[in-house]
Chains A and B, each alone.
Chain A
């Protein structure tokens, strides 16, 4: 396990509470917005992470979700549209002891910030990114987003949108992300667990959060989040466990050739031994890609939980190592010697 560089609260120091992480600013999301839950779960889990709050930095771009840093009583920077990953990278690089969190949305991360998003994944800074996916542009009042389903009718697409949506999980896997997970605004316990796991992972941690925009896209994820339908439409990934789901735990996912498919565990033909056993630590991304693709396949349950969790070197550590090696080889930088480098001559 690679050691995290994030500062920790010393043993014996007073423990923090949720209240310590609440800023004095009034929260201004629409009543009923899924963002409230994500904020509350983040504030609740923070004290459990054991980081001094002055060492926590929240960086966001632009969009409804990006107001988030104003509500956290930590350091925060509400930046510009799509660019939060770049600013977060600079913050982390200049001080690897900080715990850096990027708050973004589907438009911010995947449209205007798409380039930074994929490069953040491949650099693998020890940064955590929470992507609030509500499949719509909320702040600009209801245009389709890069995760909106094809044919989506919105103000900007009255006859239906034309593009195939991005699958954020597939995109991050393809970009070399080392921690990839999905959770739900309406499942507080799971969300806290995933946020905590993301923090504990050393490297860039990505969480897609299904989030309801009750004004412009109400109910877009209800079949995955509501009590009546959730169990039959989601499968919760557990490392080392077979993929079983359903209200009665009566269904499972097996691989049929290259195709994951749902099987009935009560039909007498299939048993639990036929099912895919989840391995979040697999270096190879084939299985994770199968799981990711399920949410693009009609009638398949959407996986929740950690798709991938592997250890790769972090950019900031490699940079620190280069600095250390160069200093060992060349000595501490001597400015006067540097200015006199190369051929010189003296005029008296």
Chain B
């Protein structure tokens, strides 16, 4: 007899274990399956910087959290309904994220004294009353996996590496998800190592059957598909969306893409992703350092290609002189910064949005550069595409900001039609149309963009460089008035981009008590919070900025329509400074610098406090 199935709206699951336990793999598989059966999904991988920290240690714990729902969701969830802890260290690190009465599945085979000691447990938490407020399911995950694979020819070591699929089999049963997508993936993944196809599928089935056949679980759960806007969907990670956005911009503009990069967490996946698309003419160049990486992109831009470089904060610091060269040379260049927790090397595998002021001001001299920021995994596609559009149209470097949280997080994405993509026209100079010959700094009167003349074009031979340029002719100039004029023109060119961006959307009330003003990867937490207040009929609005430099023209007016402006950021108040300085308003910050995203409850607490203060007046 089938066990009963309970309908629920949403669930949050956290897989955690040693970094070699495969938590990321089964987390990704659960995400794929869940997205394919129509739920809305949001994920948060959380892994250590060490590739293999000592087994069983707290430092080596790798986690993958996913939140899925029959409603639209924007975050990977605050607290979890299920925690799968493959060892005591995983339990110790993540237990605080489990809801009271949440389901705790532990691999008791890993709870020997040595493992307990490595995790810092004086006594076995399974035998103490430390876990009484949870539903604890101790499972002999290692032994059961070994038993189910005893007929195979694999070594014990190889068999033990399949136990993550046993755990996934259990979770698929618990949430009534099919195993077929995972099986298909296993077959493709191990196509050249067929012995692992059979074993992983056996482990997956065994975990599934274990739940069905034993008394452990009395009930399973189902989450109905969510309602989505019509269209074709796929699941996508932010970094992959960035890859596709760049390929799309190259394809639509007709400009070959040259991507220079140097390996760095969490931006390397963009290099890996683009390297697959040689048949799109994509040129990826892994260079000797960060400076060379931006250098080839600038050289490619001078040659008439779409030059792009990508890195994270420390890499951006190294690239800053070269980005400034592209700024004064007025060449199109896209610079992707997938932010991570700083300063210095900081916490490379943790998220933060603390490079905003670095991107604004981290170059010598007056150096205005447009900045756009993606708000969620799938938004990386449109935002990086927009960065390319601005770069090409205005002949300027553009900084595209993403972060580890959205770069590595995944969610369903409605795949756009090619006809929906904005036009990107290179408009190369083809002839010198003045009597003075070609003038490389003779500008378009509307955009102030200078001509882009490719080497190889007869009659347009010209020289550019990092020395100050004379207006119009582009000759080297030390003239005082010319320098001031050029500084003003470069600033004005960037400022005018504000005339070329869509009106700002306000979610929730259009005027009222509190405006949540955010940017970048905090979108999910802010929008969920705003939705909660709006559902209660409270006068809260939410604006999430894509364009940070220049800021939208209509923002000044929007800010006047709310009594309080709250700017939550995963930094010490960087947009806050910019908004206060630009608009002379007393905006309030909510700042978190822990390498972790906001929880919705943290935002609620702050807004409640503000609303209470407003009432007191």
Contact = CB atoms under 8 A, between A and B. Distances in A.
A198 B247 CA distance: 37
B281 to A, nearest CB: 6
Interface residues of A, number: 63
Q: How large is the interface on B (under 10, 10 to 19, 20 to 34, 35 or more residues)?
A: 35 or more
B383 to A, nearest CB: 16
B281 A343 contact: no
A119 interface: yes
Interface string B181-203: 10000000000000000000000
Given A59-B299, A93-B258, A338-B247, A327 B278 contact: yes
A98 B461 CA distance: 13
A210 interface: no
B465 A78 contact: yes
A13 B175 CA distance: 76
Given A77-B329, A345-B36, A332 B279 contact: yes
B302 A91 contact: yes
A76 B303 CA distance: 11
Interface stretch (A33-41, A48-56, A243-251): A48-56
A322 interface: yes
Contact of A343 (B181, B307, B322): B181
Contacts of A72: 463
Nearest to A66: B465
Contacts of B456: 7, 54-55, 95, 97-98
The residue in A86, A323, A340 that gathers the most chain B C-beta atoms within 10 A of its C-beta is A86
Contact of A323 (B228, B279, B288, B303): B279
A256 to B, nearest CB: 39
Nearest to A323: B278
Instruction: Provide the main secondary structure of the chain B interface.
Output: mixed
A159 interface: no
Interface string B161-183: 00000000000000000000100
B72 to A, nearest CB: 12
Given A73-B461, A339-B244, A90 B258 contact: yes
A323 B285 CA distance: 13
B288 A119 contact: yes
Contacts of B48: none
A330 B466 CA distance: 42
A317 to B, nearest CB: 13
A322 B274 CA distance: 14
A75 B461 contact: yes
A23 interface: yes
Nearest to A90: B299
A16 to B, nearest CB: 12
A304 to B, nearest CB: 30
A54 B459 contact: yes
Interface string A326-348: 11011111011011111111111
A8 B533 CA distance: 69
A323 B278 CA distance: 5
B458 A80 contact: no
B538 interface: no
Interface of B: 32, 35-36, 38, 181, 228-235, 244, 247-248, 251-252, 256, 258, 260, 277-281, 283, 285, 287-289, 291-305, 307, 321-322, 325, 329, 415-416, 418, 454-467, 475-476
Interface of A: 7, 23, 25, 52-57, 59, 62, 69-70, 72-80, 83, 85-95, 97-98, 115-116, 119, 319, 322-323, 325-327, 329-333, 335-336, 338-348
30 contacts: A54-B455, A54-B456, A54-B459, A54-B461, A57-B302, A62-B466, A70-B476, A77-B464, A77-B465, A78-B465, A80-B325, A87-B296, A90-B305, A90-B307, A95-B455, A116-B288, A116-B291, A119-B287, A322-B278, A330-B279, A332-B279, A333-B281, A335-B247, A335-B248, A338-B244, A338-B277, A343-B32, A344-B415, A345-B234, A347-B231
